[in-house]
Amino acid sequence: MRQNNQSPRPGRRFITPFFAGLGLAVAVAASLSPGVANAQDAEYAAIQQAIQQTAGAVVQIETIGASASQGELTLGAPISGTRIDDQGHILTSLWGLEETPASILIVEADGSRQPAELVARDFSRELVLLKTKPSGSGNHVALQRKEKVRVGQWAIAVGRGIAPETPSVSIGIVSATGRMYGRAVQIDARISPSFYGGPVVDIEGEMIGISVPMKPEAGSAGEKSDWYDSGIAFVVSAEAIASRIDQMKAGKDIRAGKLGIVPASKMPFSEDRTLSAVLALSPAKRAGIQADDELLAIDGEAVRWNADIKQLLGPRDAGEVLKIKVLRDEKELEFEVELAADIPAFRPRVLGVLADPQGESLEITHIFDDSAAAKAKLQIGDTIQAIDGNKIDDVDRARLLVMTHPPGEDLDLTVLRDGKPLDVRCDLQSTPDTVVAELPKLKDPIGEEAWEIVPRSLPDVSNKSCLLKPKGDKGPQLGLLVLLARPGTEKLEPLVEAWRSVAAKHQLAILAIGPAEGDRWKPAESDVIVRLIQQTQQAINVAPQQIVVGGFGAGAEMSMLVALRDRELVRGGIAASGSRPGGFALSENDPGSPVQFLVVGGTEMPVWGRVIANVGFPVLQQPSTEKEPLADDPKVRDAVGRWIRSLERI
């Protein structure tokens, strides 16, 4: 942490991002008029006073947890806490408290320690309520405010995570409200993890809220704290806390409310408010909301475009009852829905057919052996017109309706065969756990000799990259396999050259990427990988459903991180069975951005593969006896090609 203990002096006026204690570096320019100088002196004095009246309510929190090795105890990194009343209640961040530690200690400014118990957690807002004995000092912050938080007002963060005897201070401004899908206030100030759980107040000392690590979707602790490096921070508002604090004091955990709908559009400012699917066993499904309904309002608030859906649902908690208004068959309908804390994990269902994703109609081009489609006696050349009564003319829409169909219920299809409509009932299956053995030959494939390796790069990073692609302009649609090199790999060209025959056979472009530093991959490089994929999409015609990331050594572990973090872009991840992926967020599979995984090598599913499968991700395995299957086993490489093509399966 950069600190500044400089006292006010004549000269330019500045406020550094971090402050230690109350040594605020604020100076007033000598050339300013006396009136302006007096105003800034008053402002400085007000900031000091706000810090002084807040600092007494801020404590340091230490956690002691049991490690996995024989009950050994480990000391967690200290964070800050905020006393909110004189009964001993302390609010802090969920950082380090996702699981209940063996011991929680409150460290006062004088160094004294006392135990605390965990009362409740707010998992949606990253908050924890603790209870310890009253301090007797009367120092606490009030959750009530005289007026709403305004963009542009001072934001003063106070913490004791570094040293309990001296508060740390960071000063910025409120830059936005309603961020993180309506769950947070954004401030432009550098907030390190040591500030988490501490208060953020305005220049009058009134509570703005509690500093927390937060990102739009659930993430690992490291991912959430990455925002610190960007110079912005997030604060749960005092208003949001005050409206829920009684529940937490009563020992009730709070979780985000889930509705269970899938919007048709992924563009945030699209005016298409149609629902492409409703999850099985979800509150929306039970209430009677259907696919193809147009979402008009959520609890009386109009839905103007797609972004409004997440913004209006984001701050809602499980157990809340909402009124959902939709348009169906030109009639407005209103449903009362109680949001759920959990919806059974989405596990994709499959019909077992392929259709041309660029075709004008949904004509079946291939039927997989032993699939639901084969058992229902569908035929190549049948054109799917409707699924469960919903008219279909788009492959992605058909895939989504099939994937989200309730388990145990038959799927009703209407197909066109020989010019006549035909109703067919199918018993859907789960995604197979092995790679399909055979696929139809591609029409007019581009031969091996017509492929070339070209260098790729980004102007602002040092990561090396190269791309195996057909010569010439964009050409036909291709799958894209991204291979992340083992740290220390000097040349990437041989890595992609080994895939030339598979690339030509299955029409896959191969993008190899190396780490910026030769000896390791860093989690932050996932953004570089995404940017290189997006750059490749501009250079060649990439099939969106066939973008997969794999790797070698630590590159394999990095590929899992990218596949789980960047689901809007990536559709699959590959890792060797001996890999040890970790440090990534593991939220459930999302029907709007479904992802599959392929384990290569070994004969038994590794533990991490079973863990991922438990939250709904299809995990397939391709056995191999080779130590480095992606590099050394031609059968594995061909299986990877087949698997990537099969991601188009409906």
CATH number of the domain that residue 24 is part of = 2.40.10.10
Q: Are residues 68 and 121 in the same domain?
A: yes
Mean pLDDT of 479-508: 96
Q: pLDDT digits over 451-475, tens only?
A: 999 999 999 999 999 999 999 887 8
Structure token pair of residue 63: 């956690």
Q: Residue 403: give the domain boundaries.
A: 349-430
Q: Are residues 538 and 619 in the same domain?
A: yes
Phi, psi dihedrals of residue 125, rounded to the nearest 5°: -110, 10
Q: Are residues 62 and 51 in the same domain?
A: no
Q: How far apart are CA 191 and CA 194, in angstroms?
A: 8
Q: Kindly state whether residue 617 falls inside one of the protein's structural domains.
A: yes
Taking the model in full, what pTM does it have?
A: 0.79
122 Cβ neighbours under 8 A, 6+ residues apart: 94, 128, 129, 236, 244, 248, 253, 254
Per-residue pLDDT, 352: 96
Q: pLDDT digits over 404-459, tens only?
A: 998 889 999 999 999 999 999 999 999 998 999 989 888 888 999 999 999 999 99
Mean pLDDT of 13-18: 32
Mean pLDDT of 577-595: 80
How big, in percent rounded to 5, are the helix, strand and coil portions of the chain?
20, 30, 45
Residue 605 has pLDDT above 50, yes or no: yes
Q: Are residues 221 and 269 in the same domain?
A: no
Residue pair 75/64 in contact (Cβ under 8 Å)? The answer is yes
Q: Kindly state whether residue 42 falls inside one of the protein's structural domains.
A: yes
Per-residue pLDDT, 294: 96
Where is the domain boundary, 131, 151, 176? 131
Q: Are residues 460 and 329 in the same domain?
A: no
Where is the domain boundary, 216, 249, 282? 249
Mean pLDDT of 156-165: 88
Q: What's the total number of domains in the chain?
A: 5
Q: Are residues 50 and 63 in the same domain?
A: no
Q: Are residues 618 and 479 in the same domain?
A: yes
Per-residue pLDDT, 584: 61
Where is the domain boundary, 77, 96, 131? 131
Q: Which amino acid is at 135?
A: S
73 Cβ neighbours under 8 A, 6+ residues apart: 64, 65, 66, 67, 102
Q: Are residues 84 and 171 in the same domain?
A: no
Q: Are residues 209 and 277 in the same domain?
A: no
Mean pLDDT of 271-297: 93
Q: Kindly state whether residue 343 falls inside one of the protein's structural domains.
A: no
Q: Are residues 28 and 87 in the same domain?
A: no
Q: How far apart are CA 85 and CA 83, in angstroms?
A: 6
Per-residue pLDDT, 215: 66
Q: Which residue has the higher pLDDT, 550 or 24?
A: 550
Mean pLDDT of 120-138: 89
End-to-end CA distance of the chain: 52
Residue 74 has pLDDT above 50, yes or no: yes
Candidates 203, 61, 53; CA nearest to 142 is: 53
Q: Could you give the percent of the chain with pLDDT greater than 90?
A: 63
Q: How far apart are CA 535 and CA 467, in angstroms?
A: 11
CATH number of the domain that residue 423 is part of = 2.30.42.10
Mean pLDDT of 479-505: 96
- Model confidence at 25, pLDDT cuts 50, 70, 90, reads very low
Q: Kindly state whether residue 482 falls inside one of the protein's structural domains.
A: yes
Helix (H) or strand (E) holding 183: none
Residue 211 has pLDDT above 90, yes or no: yes
Burial class of residue 551 (count of CB atoms within 10 Å of its CB; 0-12, 13-18, 19+): buried
Residue pair 425/410 in contact (Cβ under 8 Å)? The answer is yes
Residue located via tokens 């009246």: 53
125 Cβ neighbours under 8 A, 6+ residues apart: 183, 184, 212, 214, 236, 240, 241, 254
Q: Kindly state whether residue 171 falls inside one of the protein's structural domains.
A: yes
Q: How far apart are CA 533 and CA 549, in angstroms?
A: 10
Q: Are residues 416 and 456 in the same domain?
A: no
The winner for highest mean pLDDT among 188-192, 208-212, 579-583, 622-626 is 208-212
Per-residue pLDDT, 1: 32
CATH number of the domain that residue 617 is part of = 3.40.50.1820
Q: Are residues 167 and 106 in the same domain?
A: no
